[in-house]
């Protein structure tokens, strides 16, 4: 019984740790993205009392299609391995 209780406590700590955003890390990444962004424009949006960085990349064609690409918690907002290539290839596809 004791082992089960300890396991449940550890599991709940892991679950709750994943839910809480790290605003300091988000601010650092926003600064890096803002300084080094080559494709697209930084646009700051506000939700309540928090501002957050977004990257607006216009389509290469005259299109009404829209795509919203969101990174997960703990993932760089313009991750070179996934987010950035997806964001750029969508503009080539008319999004």
Residue-wise pLDDT for 66-78, tens only, equals: 888 988 777 888 8
Query: Has residue 14 been placed in a domain?
Result: no
What φ, ψ does residue 28 adopt, rounded to 5°?
-65, -45
Dihedral of CA 53/37/95/26: which sign? Answer: negative
Percent of the chain with pLDDT over 90: 29
| Alpha-carbon radius of gyration of the chain | 18
Residue numbers of the domain that contains 51? 21-92
Tally of domains within the chain? 1
**What residues does 42 pair with on adjacent strands?**
55
The pLDDT value given to residue 73: 73
Instruction: Give per-residue pLDDT as tens, 42-62.
Output: 999 999 999 989 999 998 889
Query: Has residue 69 been placed in a domain?
Result: yes
**What residues does 41 pair with on adjacent strands?**
56
């Amino acid at each position: 019984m004791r082992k089960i209780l300890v396991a449940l406590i550890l599991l709940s700590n892991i679950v709750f740790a994943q839910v809480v955003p790290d605003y300091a890390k988000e601010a650092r990444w926003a600064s890096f993205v803002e300084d080094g962004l080559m494709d697209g424009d930084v646009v700051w949006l506000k939700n309540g009392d928090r501002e957050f960085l977004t990257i607006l990349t216009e389509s290469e064609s005259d299109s009404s299609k829209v795509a919203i690409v969101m990174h997960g918690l703990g993932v760089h907002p313009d991750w070179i391995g996934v987010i950035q290539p997806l964001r750029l290839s969508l503009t080539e596809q008319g999004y």
